[in-house]
Amino acid sequence: MLKKLIKRALSQTPSDGIPGSETMGVKIKSSLIENEKYIRNQFGNTRDLVIRHLTIAGRAQAMLVYLDNMIDIKVVNEHLMEPLMERRQYPVDDMEDLIRTVIQVGQIKTSSKMDELLGHVLYGNTALFIDNMPQAVVFETKGWEHRSVDKPDTEKNVLGPKEAFTETAMVNQTMLRRRIRSTRLRFELMKVGEITQTDIVVTYIDGLAKPELIKELKRRIKKVKIDGVFCCGFFKELLDDNPLSPFPTMEGTERPDKMTAALLEGRVGLIIDGTPFALIIPTMFWDFLMTPDDYYSRFYSGTFLRLLRLAAVAITLTLPSLYIAITTHHQEMLPTALALSIAGAREGVPFSAFIEAVLMELAFELVREGGVRLPAVVGQAVSIVGALVLGQSGVEAGIVSSTMVIVVATTGIASFAIPGYSAANTIRLLRFPLMVLSGLWGLPGLVSGLLIIFCHMISLSSFGTSYLYPVAPVKLGAWKDVAIRVPWWAMATRPKIAANKKRLRPFIPPGKQDGDQGAS
Amino acid sequence: MVIKVQVKLLSVMLIIIMFFSTSCVTVREIDELNFIMATAFEYEPKTGLYIITVQVPKTVPKGEQPMGPQWMIYQAKGKSLFEAIRNLGKESPRRMYFGHCDIYIIGDEFAKKGIKSLLDFLQRDGETRVSTSHFLLAREPINKLLAISDGQEALPALSLEKLVEVVLKTNSQSPKVTVRDYLKDYMKEASYSVLPLVGTSTPDMEKKEEVTTKFIVSGSGVFKRDKLIGYLRPLESRGYLWAVGKLKAAIIVGTVTNKDKEVKVSYEIVSAESKVEPVIQGEELQVNIKVKATSHLGELDGNLNVDDPKNITQLEKVLNELIKKEVRMAVSKTQELRADVFDVGEKLHKFHPEVWKQVKGDWENVFANITFNIQVESSVIRTGRITELQGGSNE
């Protein structure tokens, strides 16, 4: 059924009536009145369109076109209006000269295409039309209100940088540029969204990212036909190798330091205007289990945390199903004392272990979901109600067993320990089918369910790289940075996955550092 | 194309079937089971019926205080063991579950009749565990044995299970035999087994009501294949454990002389190993038992300078004799029972098959008359925190 859906989506031709398409190819007229008429016609009666008529040098009629509040009014007033309206003698029939001598704004573009000009106006720039001139100039006057750089909200860390991306692509771009002061850092602008015309910045380091990867990414972005994008989640689905998989194959991050590290590994970043989350491409499953803190703390603790998170994945995925399988099918696998205490705890519980587990896990998901949406002050109330009513009172009333509460709580906490939010959601979701399988067939059911999941994960890829790389296919050399993190000085090579042949990571064996310094 | 899809489907189906045909799938909630913790088997010669007695814990809902003992006894009879086990279900609304039964007690009459049916059941059934459950031989009637509440563990069966282990680790006067050990012995050419004896013990105190009856594991019973043929006393059992190298720890008391004074010594054996080896001396079959023991000096009742190597040598010599005496006791008792518990027959079968062919028809009589050469090599490696406890001049 889902495959049919994809087929249908693919077979659909882009609709003809794309709004704005009528501006395509329209040239600027030389008459100012006609241009104004055309623009007014295009924008309709929108209230934020400002068309300011002025007389340049006392003789030429001109008009400034901009959108209210999108521009920095100070720039327009002081550096555009003032010099233009000064009663000074200068030629007004030469646009080039005008720009060179009169206008005091940095970025300027001359164009005769109406759609290009309007595109700039829609992005907070100001266009200058002069009567009897078939060209117009756009001045960089962007200056709208935006959120300032803040601490990361979803990817908290202890050590390391504390600033996060914001909703403005340019600010995000700057944050990366400030970290990578190299001429080889490239930002390539693309536009997605038939209506929204959202800026997408393809970010990579030339010579580190594979050219094929960049080419393929651009090809896919160009193919995207959608009314609008305003979150990286759109691209996670639109650019995916495996549109039907529950697993995310791209990671959104709001940490510039994480993005920088990814770029240095030869990955490609995708900055999307309007969202503080930038996409890292490609992303393996293991990347969801890594945090910048692993690299900022010493490698022993980094490795320990990695292993801990692997355990967290295993617990989140299998603990409730293991509990169901063992208590309803394989009681002989429990130590005697534990079997007796579980039996005692389940005494008088009206539901079977399976129903009990499903109910409690659902209740937990409800508490979690309720807590996510609520303001922080009310969120506390949710956790109190969740913990007390569902946990304690449930056990006291004999509706759930205390062991079940422990299982659910452990599973919940383990799922919070997975750093990649989208991957954690997937794993949390997958535990329900596993619970059904183990409720029906015990451990054989659980194992076959896990097998299906693993087979599926192995078949996945992220922009051509295997999803479970380097574990499957096995590349032992790359295991230095998966479950264990070797010290920085031992990471002699770049990850093979996305990097070019050049390996630029400095390899300084410990102990030789002094000698090197002496030589230089 | 069609064939490809069919092959794919077939392999997927095969994989799925493979998983679900590995074990029987039965859903049973953990709280709908009666966990059998100990089972006792007895036989009634008069009626020819088997009696089975099981101990199961009472599960009480959380927060409620259990009334009285936390366990229940179920008893049922049947024409065969399995029928008796099923008859337990007449009284129990919960399914009797053998998966956690670690104690199998064999009643006296049943042991004499032969326990082959039990061995068969324990292996045939899917729930029973042969490698972790213990065999015990009842020294007293089952009804008395399983009725006591020793108050140490929540369930008497649990304390029995621990007791078997602890007895071996403290004094080794009784072996520890799992069902699998017994089955291994059972399949040998000359099959003899030694099972621990369990009884009850009540301290002799003034106020009878404050006294708790407890289990005691001490001594052992000798089985010829599946039948009980005799008993070994505690020290004889230890002699047997010395010889077969299963001894874990022991306290042995002897005397040495120091300046014409007798000094009582307690040795604490910490490790022991042994080798039983049948040898052909000319025409005669002999068995060499070599025992190596390591001990600590546990207690001295008298004065002895343990810094003096001569005294240590004397201590070791005395210990050699003491161990030899215990092994000798076991040997003569088992020769009397004509029970080859030392696996001599099995070793002959393996290393001297031609000799075994000659003797196996009349093995019991041959065994009873074999000469045993017992060599003991012991060492006292630690003498404790003090060298000699010395009093003042008025000692």
Q: Do B30 and A331 touch (CB under 8 A)?
A: yes
Q: Which two tokens stand for residue A60?
A: 């030429």
Short-list A357, A453, A454, A451, CA closest to A412: A357
CA distance A261 to A290: 12
Residues of chain A found within 8 Å of residue B94, distances taken between Cβ atoms = none
Within an 8 Å CB–CB cutoff, is residue B24 touching chain A?
Answer: no
The count of CB pairs under 8 A between chains A and B is 84
The two most distant CA atoms of chain B are separated, in Å, by 107
pLDDT digits (tens, 9 = 90+) for B257-286: 888 888 999 999 999 999 999 998 888 899
Residues of chain B found within 8 Å of residue A435, distances taken between Cβ atoms = none
SS3 state of residue A231: coil
Q: Please indicate, yes or no, whether residues A72 and A102 belong to a single structural domain of this protein.
A: yes
Smallest Cα distance from B116 to chain A, Å? 25
User: For B19, which of A340, A439, A448 is closest by C-beta distance?
Assistant: A448
Does residue A292 belong to any structural domain of this protein? no
CA distance A336 to B102: 9
pLDDT beyond 80 at A496: no
pLDDT beyond 90 at A201: yes
How remote is the C-alpha of B349 from its chain's centroid?
A: 25
Q: Mean pLDDT over residues A412-418, rounded?
A: 92
Pairing of strands A465-466, B71-78: unpaired
Residue A295 makes CB contacts below 8 A (sequence gap 6+) with A261, A302, A485, A488
CA A165, A169, A175, A181 torsion-angle sign: positive
Number of domains present in the structure of chain A: 3
Q: Residue A413: which pLDDT band, with cuts at 50, 70 and 90?
A: very high
CA distance A351 to A394: 12
SS3 state of residue A348: coil
pLDDT beyond 80 at A230: yes
* Helix or strand run (H / E) with residue A488: none
Within an 8 Å CB–CB cutoff, is residue B103 touching chain A?
Answer: no
Q: Please indicate, yes or no, whether residues A126 and A34 belong to a single structural domain of this protein.
A: yes
pLDDT beyond 70 at A12: no
Interface test with A, best of B17, B20, B31 (most A CBs within 10 A): B31
User: For A332, which of B59, B61, B127 is closest by C-beta distance?
Assistant: B127
Does residue A153 belong to any structural domain of this protein? no
Q: How many C-beta neighbours within 10 Å does residue B178 have?
A: 18
Smallest Cα distance from B233 to chain A, Å? 33
Chain A residues contacting B via beta carbons under 8 Å: 327-329, 331-332, 336-337, 339-340, 342-349, 352-353, 395-396, 398, 401-402, 439, 441-442, 444-445, 447-448, 451
The one-letter amino acid at B340? D
Identify which of A26-30, A121-125, B217-221 has the greatest average pLDDT: B217-221
Q: Do A343 and B30 touch (CB under 8 A)?
A: yes
Residues of chain A found within 8 Å of residue B127, distances taken between Cβ atoms = 332
Q: Please indicate, yes or no, whether residues A220 and A99 belong to a single structural domain of this protein.
A: no
Pairing of strands A198-205, B49-57: unpaired
Looking at chain B, which residue has its C-alpha nearest residue A328? B29
Residues of chain B found within 8 Å of residue A343, distances taken between Cβ atoms = 30-31, 33, 35, 59
pLDDT digits (tens, 9 = 90+) for B183-232: 999 998 889 999 999 998 888 877 777 678 889 999 999 999 999 999 99
Give the structural domain span for A94: 21-139
User: For B100, which of A339, A346, A445 is closest by C-beta distance?
Assistant: A339
Smallest Cα distance from A480 to chain B, Å? 34
Q: Do B31 and A346 touch (CB under 8 A)?
A: yes
pLDDT at A89: 67
Interface test with B, best of A331, A352, A402 (most B CBs within 10 A): A331
CATH number of B233-387: 3.30.300.210
Looking at chain B, which residue has its C-alpha nearest residue A346? B31
Q: Please indicate, yes or no, whether residues A31 and A125 belong to a single structural domain of this protein.
A: yes
User: For B57, which of A328, A340, A349 is closest by C-beta distance?
Assistant: A340
Q: Please indicate, yes or no, whether residues A310 and A456 belong to a single structural domain of this protein.
A: yes
SS3 state of residue A236: helix
Smallest Cα distance from A471 to chain B, Å? 24
Within an 8 Å CB–CB cutoff, is residue B60 touching chain A?
Answer: yes
pLDDT at A515: 45
User: For B30, which of A327, A348, A439 is closest by C-beta distance?
Assistant: A327
The one-letter amino acid at A363? A
Does residue A319 belong to any structural domain of this protein? yes
Q: Do A343 and B31 touch (CB under 8 A)?
A: yes
- Determine phi and psi for B154, rounding to 5 degrees: -60, -30
HEC states along chain B?
A: CHHHHHHHHHHHHHHHHHHHCCCCCCCCCHHHEEECCEEEEEEECCCCEEEEEEEEECCCCCCCCCCCCCEEEEEEEECCHHHHHHHHCCCCCCEEECCCCCEEEECHHHHHHCCHHHHHHHHHCCCCCCCCCEEEEECCCHHHHCCCCCCCCCCHHHHHHHHHHHHHHHCCCCCCCEHHHHHHHHCCCCCEEEEEEEEEECCCCCCHHHCCCEEEEEEEEEEECCEEEEEECHHHHHHHHHHHCCCCCEEEEEEEEECCEEEEEEEEEEEEEEEEEEEEECCEEEEEEEEEEEEEEEEEECCCCCCCHHHHHHHHHHHHHHHHHHHHHHHHHHHHHCCCCCCHHHHHHHHCHHHHHHHHHHHHHHHHCCEEEEEEEEEEEECCCCCCCCCCCCC
Q: Do B60 and A347 touch (CB under 8 A)?
A: yes
pLDDT at B372: 94
Q: Residue A361: which pLDDT band, with cuts at 50, 70 and 90?
A: very high
Q: Do B29 and A328 touch (CB under 8 A)?
A: yes
Residue A294 makes CB contacts below 8 A (sequence gap 6+) with A302, A305, A306, A485
Q: Please say whether the beta carbons of A93 and A133 come within 8 A.
A: yes
Q: Do B19 and A343 touch (CB under 8 A)?
A: no
Q: Please indicate, yes or no, whether residues A272 and A306 belong to a single structural domain of this protein.
A: no
HEC states along A351-374?
A: CCHHHHHHHHHHHHHHHHHHHHHC
ipTM surpasses cut 0.85: no
Q: Do B61 and A398 touch (CB under 8 A)?
A: yes
Q: Please indicate, yes or no, whether residues A440 and A327 belong to a single structural domain of this protein.
A: yes
Residues of chain A found within 8 Å of residue B59, distances taken between Cβ atoms = 340, 343-344, 347
**Local confidence pLDDT in tens for the 395 residues of chain B:** 677 888 888 888 887 777 666 656 677 888 888 999 999 999 999 999 999 999 998 876 656 666 677 888 999 999 999 999 999 989 888 889 999 999 999 999 999 999 999 999 999 988 898 998 999 999 888 888 888 887 778 788 888 888 988 988 888 899 999 999 999 999 988 899 999 999 988 888 777 776 788 899 999 999 999 999 999 999 999 999 999 999 999 999 999 888 888 899 999 999 999 999 999 888 889 999 999 999 999 998 888 888 889 989 999 999 999 999 999 999 999 999 999 999 999 999 999 999 999 898 899 999 999 999 999 999 999 888 888 887 777 76
User: Alpha carbon of A285 to those of A250, A251, A310: distances in Å?
Assistant: 9, 9, 11
Smallest Cα distance from A345 to chain B, Å? 6
Looking at chain A, which residue has its C-alpha nearest residue B126? A332
Within an 8 Å CB–CB cutoff, is residue B127 touching chain A?
Answer: yes
User: For A345, which of B28, B62, B158 is closest by C-beta distance?
Assistant: B62
Smallest Cα distance from A310 to chain B, Å? 26
Q: Establish whether the linkage from the previous residue to A473 is cis, with ω within 30° of 0.
A: yes
Q: Do A448 and B23 touch (CB under 8 A)?
A: no
Show which of A445, A465, A485 is a domain's final residue: A465
Looking at chain A, which residue has its C-alpha nearest residue B98? A332
Q: Please indicate, yes or no, whether residues A207 and A315 belong to a single structural domain of this protein.
A: no
CA distance A446 to A357: 15
Q: Which of A178-182, A398-402, A513-517, B55-59 has the lowest mean pLDDT?
A: A513-517
Does residue A396 belong to any structural domain of this protein? yes
Looking at chain B, which residue has its C-alpha nearest residue A403? B62
Q: Please indicate, yes or no, whether residues A203 and A267 belong to a single structural domain of this protein.
A: yes
Q: Which of A1-10, A262-271, A274-283, A349-358 has the lowest mean pLDDT?
A: A1-10
Residues of chain A found within 8 Å of residue B100, distances taken between Cβ atoms = 331-332, 336, 339
CA distance B81 to B79: 7
pLDDT digits (tens, 9 = 90+) for A420-477: 889 999 999 999 999 999 998 889 889 989 999 999 999 999 998 899 988 888 888 7
pLDDT at A508: 53
Q: What is the DSSP letter of A29?
A: P
Average pLDDT over chain B reads 88
Q: Which two tokens stand for residue A330?
A: 């394989």
Residue B173 CA neighbour count, 13 Å, CB half = 12
User: For B35, which of A340, A345, A442 is closest by C-beta distance?
Assistant: A340
Domain spans, chain B: 31-59+68-203+212-231, 233-387
Q: Which two tokens stand for residue B232?
A: 């070994």
pLDDT digits (tens, 9 = 90+) for A295-343: 999 999 999 999 999 999 999 999 999 999 999 998 888 988 888 888 8
Count of all residues that appear for chain A in the document: 520
Smallest Cα distance from B57 to chain A, Å? 8
Q: Establish whether the linkage from the previous residue to A19 is cis, with ω within 30° of 0.
A: no
DSSP states of A287-340: GGG--HHHHHS-HHHHHHHHHHHHHHHHHHHHHHHHHHHHHHT-GGGS-HHHHH
CA distance A265 to A499: 6
User: For B29, which of A353, A441, A445 is closest by C-beta distance?
Assistant: A353
Q: Please indicate, yes or no, whether residues A202 and A257 belong to a single structural domain of this protein.
A: yes
User: For A444, which of B23, B27, B102 is closest by C-beta distance?
Assistant: B23
Does residue A147 belong to any structural domain of this protein? no
Smallest Cα distance from A373 to chain B, Å? 36
Comparing A204 with A97, the larger pLDDT belongs to: A204
